[in-house]
Amino acid sequence: MPGPGKPRIEAVRGDITREQVEAIVNAANSALRGGGGVDGAIHRAAGPRLAEAGAALAPCQPGDAKATPAFDLDPPVRHVIHTVGPVWHGGGQGEPGILESCYRRCLEIGTALGVKSIAFPAISTGVYGYPPALAADVAVQTLRATPTRVEVIRLVAFDDFTYQLYLDRLT
Catalytic residues: 39
- 83: helix, strand or coil: strand
Please report whether residue 106 would count as binding ligand APR according to CB under 6 A. no
Question: Strands 152-157 and 8-13, how do they pair?
Answer: parallel
Does position 133 interact with ligand APR (CB under 6 A)? The reply is no
Among 25, 106, 123, 155, binds ligand APR (CB under 6 A): 123
From the CB of 64, what's the least distance to ligand APR, in Å?
14
- Cβ distance to ligand APR smaller for residue 122 or 138: 122
Nearest approach, Cβ of residue 116 and ligand APR (Å): 21
Q: Are strands 117-120 and 23-28 parallel, antiparallel or unpaired?
A: parallel
Query: How many CA atoms lie within 13 Å of 117's alpha carbon, on the beta-carbon side?
Result: 13
User: In this chain, which of 68, 124, 142, 146 binds ligand APR, going by CB under 6 A?
Assistant: 124
Query: 154 near 7, Cβ under 8 Å?
Result: no
Residue 39-78 contact track with ligand APR, rule CB under 6 A, x = bound: xxx-------------------------------------
Q: Does 121 bind ligand APR (CB under 6 A)?
A: yes
Question: Cα(146)–Cα(149) distance, rounded to whole angstroms?
Answer: 10
| Contacts of 73 by beta carbon, 8 Å cutoff, 6+ apart | 17, 24, 42, 45, 46, 80
Chain residues in the site for ligand APR (CB under 6 A): 15-17, 27-29, 35-41, 85, 121-128, 156, 158-159, 162
